[in-house]
Amino acid sequence: MTREPMNSLVLIVEDEAALVTLLRYNLEKEGYRVAEASDGEEALAVAAETPPDLVLLDWMLPVMSGIEVCRQMRRKPRTRDIPILMLTARSEEGDKVRGLNTGADDFMTKPFSVPELIARVRALLRRTQPVQNKGELTYSDVVLDMDAHRVTRNGRSIHLGPTEFRLLQYLMQHTGLVFSREELLNAVWGPDIYVEPRTVDVHVRRLRKALNGDNEADLIRTVRAAGYAIDVEGIV
């Protein structure tokens, strides 16, 4: 069963009133509910009170930067699983990677096309909808519970963001196969979304960091010039 994420609540965090109006109009036209915050502190307060299904987060905000909002949301149990799409006027690759490393799930540079933004919102929400009765996947000492959206390694609970969860799920459904960055983008992000292949590297790095404890084998194999696979030479 696929449930279109209609009526999902989107929190717009942006200090430019004209942009808020444009985003609100277009999101509501698509059937989403919209909440607003015009600075970072307000964003954290609104998100804590009524956790949204997704946050559109501007990088340049008064009082507290979007990056700091993102970091704080990821620290709190109530808001840490909410997908975050960062908006920025900056276009440098380094900023993008920094944004993703802070815990954002996707990134768009202003000026952006509204249809593309809506497509990304939809894809992010689809990725984070709970899937019913899919069961568990096990690989080595990792167990991924697709119903509860929980991952454990060696009995230890592993916290993953929505994108890392999907990435791990996809790799665990196809253990031993090597996927190119483009294949992973299609499978995990969706074919209608344009994301740079480097983004995959950022999420794989985050997944590895969360998954691999001290003295534990790295289960994700980087295949030079080809892509990624889940397996380890020592285990297979």
As measured in angstroms, the least distance from the Cβ of 60 to Ca ion is 4
As measured in angstroms, the least distance from the Cβ of 224 to Ca ion is 40
Q: Are 218 and 230 in contact (CB under 8 A)?
A: no
Q: Nearer to Ca ion by C-beta: 66 or 227?
A: 66
Q: Nearest to Ca ion by Cβ — which residue?
A: 60
Contact residue for Ca ion among 42, 58, 106, 164 (CB under 5 A): 58
Choices 43-51, 54-62, 65-73, 112-120 (CB under 5 A): range interacting with Ca ion = 54-62
Q: Nearer to Ca ion by C-beta: 39 or 141?
A: 39
Q: Are 43 and 13 in contact (CB under 8 A)?
A: yes
Q: Nearer to Ca ion by C-beta: 12 or 123?
A: 12
As measured in angstroms, the least distance from the Cβ of 198 to Ca ion is 25
Q: Residue 172: CB partners within 8 Å, gap ≥ 6?
A: 137, 139, 142, 144, 230
Tell me the residue type at 5: P
Q: Nearer to Ca ion by C-beta: 60 or 114?
A: 60
Q: What CA–CA distance (Å, rounded) separates 67 from 40? A: 9
User: What is the separation of C-alpha 32 from the centre of its chain, rounded to a whole number of angstroms?
Assistant: 19
Q: Does 15 contact Ca ion by CB under 5 A?
A: yes
Residue 86's DSSP bridge partners are 57, 107
Which sign does the torsion angle of CA 65, 113, 130, 54 carry?
positive
* Residue ranges in contact with Ca ion by CB under 5 A: 15, 58, 60
